């Protein structure tokens, strides 16, 4: 079996595993429990803070056949299909490479068709700020008045590039940089689960280097573990590997 990077292996399966974004998780879970689900969301914040993860969790939970207190069951056919990437109910679009008017017109055309199973078709548009002006204009009417079975989730690291006309039609959620404590605690949980011996001081240094991004922290940790495979990962080991690494490389 091929190796899976830590950030992919431990992507949260439920809202309770999302770290550092309690204000967002609580609001979304309350919406799900009360049935007050919006038709358009905007998730904004720096990279690696959970925007795409929460978008996928929201898409999964609103389609779950047996949700529990605002969390997905992860056992029904809808949950399993969405987790495996085979469900037609969740459509992920990378706006960086699909940023033209024709790309958006395809979405607008697809929106007309209701889902064959499940309750909602959820369109997750990542890096939405990359859409052209014409593409935003083509999307505007559909975001304003989508069919009842459609939810749009727009994700961006550069909210200032989103037209006001789009912003005003979305519920906006600002993802905060995750604290060093939260990142270090999560890394400790995962290392215990993996049965890997890592010093707390080493994990805390990695958490500080990650600059608020849990994904970057997991990538840095992966790098250190690979270098000292089979050994206890100490603070000094981490300094050897990361001491001269510029964290900006992870934004490329």
Of the given ranges (30-44, 125-139, 156-170, 225-239), which has the lowest mean pLDDT? 225-239
Span 59-63, average pLDDT: 97
Of residues 4 and 106, more confidence is placed in 106
CB neighbours of 62 closer than 8 A, spacing ≥ 6? 32, 37, 119, 120, 122, 151
**How far apart are alpha carbons 120 and 60 in whole angstroms?**
9
CB 151 within 8 A of CB 42: no
Cα 225 from chain centre = 24
Tell me the per-residue pLDDT of 3-56, one tens digit each, with 9 for 90 and over. 778 888 889 999 999 999 999 999 999 999 999 999 999 999 999 999 999 999
pLDDT above 70 (res 106): yes
CB 152 within 8 A of CB 59: no
In the chain, CATH 3.40.50.300 covers 6-175
Angle at 52 between CA 46 and CA 54, to 5 degrees: 105
Read off the pLDDT band of 203 (50, 70, 90). very high
pLDDT above 90 (res 178): yes
pTM of the predicted model as reported, rounded to 2 decimal places: 0.89
| 180-244: in CATH 1.10.8.60 | yes
Span 165-185, average pLDDT: 96
Structure tokens at 221: 């940790």
| 6-175: in CATH 3.90.1150.10 | no
In the chain, CATH 1.10.8.60 covers 180-244
């Amino acid at each position: 079996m091929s190796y899976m990077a830590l950030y992919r292996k431990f992507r949260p399966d439920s809202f309770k595993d999302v770290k550092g974004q309690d204000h967002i998780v609580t609001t979304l879970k309350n919406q799900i429990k009360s049935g007050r689900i919006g038709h358009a969301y905007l998730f904004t914040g720096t990279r690696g803070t959970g925007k795409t993860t929460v978008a996928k969790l929201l898409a999964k939970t609103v389609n779950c056949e047996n949700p529990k207190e605002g969390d997905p069951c992860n056992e029904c056919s809808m949950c399993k299909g969405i987790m495996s990437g085979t469900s037609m109910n969740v459509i992920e679009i990378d706006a960086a490479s699909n940023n033209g008017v024709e790309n958006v017109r395809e979405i607008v055309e697809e929106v007309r068709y209701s889902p064959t199973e499940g309750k909602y078709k959820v369109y997750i548009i990542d890096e939405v700020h990359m859409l052209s002006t014409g593409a935003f204009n083509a999307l505007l009417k559909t975001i304003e008045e989508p069919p009842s079975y459609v939810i749009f989730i727009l994700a961006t690291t550069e909210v200032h590039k989103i037209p006001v006309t789009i912003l005003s039609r979305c519920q906006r959620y600002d993802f905060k940089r995750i604290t060093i404590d939260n990142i270090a605690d999560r890394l400790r949980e995962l290392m215990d689960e993996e049965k890997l011996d890592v010093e707390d001081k080493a994990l805390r240094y990695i958490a500080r280097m990650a600059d608020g991004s849990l994904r970057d922290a997991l990538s840095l940790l992966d790098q250190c573990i690979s270098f000292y495979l089979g050994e206890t990962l100490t603070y000094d080991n981490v300094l050897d590997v990361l001491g001269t690494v510029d964290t900006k490389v992870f934004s490329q």
